[in-house]
Amino acid sequence: MDWKSRRVEAILEQALLEDKVTEDATTALTIDPSLRAAATILAKQECIVSGLGAIPRILEIFARLDGNRSGRFEVISHPEIFDGVRVRKGKQLAVIRSNARVILACERVMLNLMQRMSGIATLTREYADAIAGTKATVIDTRKTVPGLRILDKYAVTCGGGENHRLDLSDGVLIKNNHISLGGGVATVLKRAHARRLPGQVIDIEVRSFAELDEALANGAESLLLDNMTPAEVKRAVDIVRGRGLTIPIEASGGIELATIRDYALAGPDFISVGALTHSAVAVDLSMRIAAEL
């Protein structure tokens, strides 16, 4: 199991422990322990699906937490239903066959995760569709729910976006506070060049054309244009490309669905949108459970 899979396992286990799924007081009092059931997850609105793969992993983790007393389970989905696909309202996403007590205990964790992840994927698809036909790619940020970042960022890819840094160790990005505390654009860039590890690309945020000129003069290898208007982004792109530089250019800062195409047409390679993960609305999913007699 690689480190990403281990991190996902830890997230899912913590979610189940948080809900005390092996101590479901209501289910223990009302449901026959030998009863088996079939649960159908339904989309109650049109959406982009994300998180299907979490279902069997949640059931596997539950079985381990419960001492493998819950018996077998089966998760079935149609071949046309997978993470990243658009589904219409009323579409059946998956059927779970297992012990009824297990399904009831895990229901909320399954739905909560899939609703959030599908919400992120659905919003990302709106942004990606808005810039279709341009050279720009929509990317996410680190503005994620603490502890859920790897799931949030996976959901972005399901919606057609790409991931920026996963964490602080994942690349060098000099932002405005680094510049302010480090003595200015030229100073922090010189320091970064002198101290960086092999293979590290130095990306720097600039907020004005004076900072842009200073960054280019001191070896910036990637640029983040922060809180510029589309016209200012175009001017900055023209300056960089006019000097024969092919370094990546990202536009960022308050970019919304209504304005993202204007930014894309200004010519950046990437447009980062924090709203993909910090403002996505969970989609409406439901689970219908019936006894298997």
pLDDT of residue 1: 79
Q: Catalogue the long-range contacts made by 219-223 (C-beta closer than 8 Å, 24 or more residues apart).
A: 219/189, 219/190, 219/193, 220/189, 220/247, 221/247, 222/247, 222/248, 222/249, 222/250, 223/247, 223/248, 223/249, 223/250
CATH of the domain at 84: 3.90.1170.20
Residue 213 annotated in active site = no
Q: What residue ranges in the chain does DSSP mark as E strands?
A: 36-43, 47-48, 74-76, 86-87, 92-99, 137-139, 172-174, 202-206, 222-226, 249-252, 270-272, 285-291
Active-site residue among 107, 152, 203, 226? 226
HSE-up of residue 258 (Cα within 13 Å, Cβ side)? 1
154 and 231 co-located in one domain: yes
Question: What residues pair up with 137 in beta bridges, in sequence order?
Answer: 270
Active-site residue among 83, 205, 211, 221? 205
The torsion angles phi and psi of 136, rounded to 5 degrees, stand at -80, 150
88 and 184 co-located in one domain: no
- End-to-end CA separation in angstroms for the chain: 38
132 and 115 co-located in one domain: no
Residue 4 annotated in active site = no
147 and 271 co-located in one domain: yes
Total domains present in the chain: 2
Q: Which amino acid is at 202?
A: I
Residue 226 annotated in active site = yes
111 and 248 co-located in one domain: no
Residue 205 annotated in active site = yes
Residue 101 annotated in active site = no
d(CA 263, CA 237): 11
The answer to whether 233 and 251 have CB atoms below 8 angstroms apart is yes
pTM of the model: 0.96
DSSP state of 283: P
Active-site residue among 7, 57, 97, 143? 143
238 and 208 co-located in one domain: yes
Cβ count within 10 A of residue 184: 13
98 and 196 co-located in one domain: no
The answer to whether 74 and 63 have CB atoms below 8 angstroms apart is no
Active-site residue among 7, 165, 175, 190? 175
HSE-up of residue 231 (Cα within 13 Å, Cβ side)? 0
| CA 161 to mean position of chain CA atoms | 9
107 and 133 co-located in one domain: no
Structural domain for 241, as ranges: 128-278
Active-site residue among 6, 44, 72, 108? 108
Q: Can you list the residues of the chain whose pLDDT is less than 50?
A: none
